[in-house]
Amino acid sequence: MPRAPWALMVAGFRRYATYRQATVAGIFTNSVFGFLRCYVLLAVAAGGTVAGYSGPQLATYVWLGQGMLAVVNSWTMLDLAERVRSGDIVADLLRPMDPLWTYLWTDLGRAGFSLLTRFSVPMVVGAVAFGLYLPTHAVTYVLTAVSIVLAVIVGFACRYLVGLTAFWLLDIRGVSMFWSFASGAGSGLYFPLAILPDWLTAVLWWGTPFPSLLQAPLDVAVERGGDGHAVLVIGGQAAWAVALLFACRIVQARAVARLVVQGG
């Protein structure tokens, strides 16, 4: 792998590895929420199914979802907005590598670290406390991994776009709140999207990147709809990833053109 991206990934990994307290705290929180959501969904299913998901599938859905929260990390904004606000962004723009890529590789490193810690531990807790659905085909594991990576990229691109609005808005609290809500609700965090009326799920899947963040890898993992469906889902994620990264480049070019550095 070319040196700069690899170095950035390692740097991102290392940086988050130093936040030991926060990682432990995060694992704890994910586990607590795992219990809460799992009990609620299982109570709703009451031994049967919910929108086509069986009890164990729901358990996997919840715990995998919790595990993935930190990996996709779509609720925590990138430093980008802060750096725009303080004017430090100029230093990033003067580097030979486009900040979009430096931020991306660093974020992937971070995701890698989260995968090792905040993903694996809650999964184990969930497996012990409840019965999880384990995929029956070996290829599902591979597909799930691919789907997770794509989810991280989509999440990154969206957060980067939100960060870019700082060039126009300076204080992006409102936008990031809106993003957090939309991505939370639309990604299947609170409940499986399939519960919603068909037209709404269609709009979400075809018109927004949100399901790609969480619902997509979750559906792939519980083998919903079989391998064919999984490939379709992953294809959708890939399409969103490409489109969003492209959008980032365009918006960034315009932002740089309009650059006003605030803060002296």
Partner 1 sequence: MASVLGVYAKVVRAQIRSQTQYRLSFAFEVFGSVIINGLDLATVFVLFSVAGSLGGFAGPEVFLIAALSAFAFSAADLVVGNADKLRDYVRTGLFDTLLLRPLSALWQLLAVNFAPRRAGRAIQGGIIYAIALVVADIGWDVPRIVLAVVAPIAGAVFFGSLFVAGATVAFWWVESGEVANAFTYGGNDFTLYPSTMFGDWFRTVFGSVLGFSFVAYLPTLALIGRSDPLGTPDWLRWCSPVTALIAAVVARAFWRLGVRHYRSTGS
Q: Which spans of this chain sit near partner 1 (rule: CB under 8 A)?
A: 19, 21-22, 25-26, 28-29, 32-33, 35-37, 39-41, 43-46, 50-51, 169-175, 177-178, 180-181, 184-185, 190-191, 195-196
Contact 130, 36 (CB under 8 A): no
Q: Nearest distance from residue 70's CB to partner 1, in Å? A: 10
In whole angstroms, the minimum distance from the beta carbon of 212 to partner 1 comes to 20
CB 105 within 8 A of CB 182: no
Q: What three-state secondary structure class fits 61?
A: helix
Min dist CB 48 to partner 1, Å, is 9
The residue whose two tokens read 């992006």 is: 172
Q: Which is nearer to partner 1, 141 or 178 (CB)?
A: 178
Q: Which one, 15 or 173, has the nearer CB to partner 1?
A: 173
Output the six-digit token pair for 50: 């919910």
Min CB(26)–partner 1 separation in Å: 5
Identify the CA nearest to 22 among candidates 115, 118, 104.
118
Closer CB to partner 1, residue 166 or residue 216? 166
- Of 28 and 246, nearer to partner 1 (C-beta) is 28
What single DSSP character describes residue 50? B
- Closest approach of partner 1 to the CB of residue 176, in Å: 9
Q: Are 76 and 156 in contact (CB under 8 A)?
A: no
Closest C-alpha among 228, 74, 209 to residue 155: 74
3-class DSSP state for residue 95?
coil
Q: How far is the CB of 66 from partner 1 (least distance, A)?
A: 11
The nearer residue to partner 1, 109 or 186, going by C-beta atoms, is: 186
65 Cβ neighbours under 8 A, 6+ residues apart: 37, 188, 189, 214, 218
Give the separation between CA 177 and CA 116, rounded to whole angstroms.
28
Residue 216 near residue 151, CB atoms below 8 Å: yes
Closest to partner 1 by CB, 171 or 227: 171
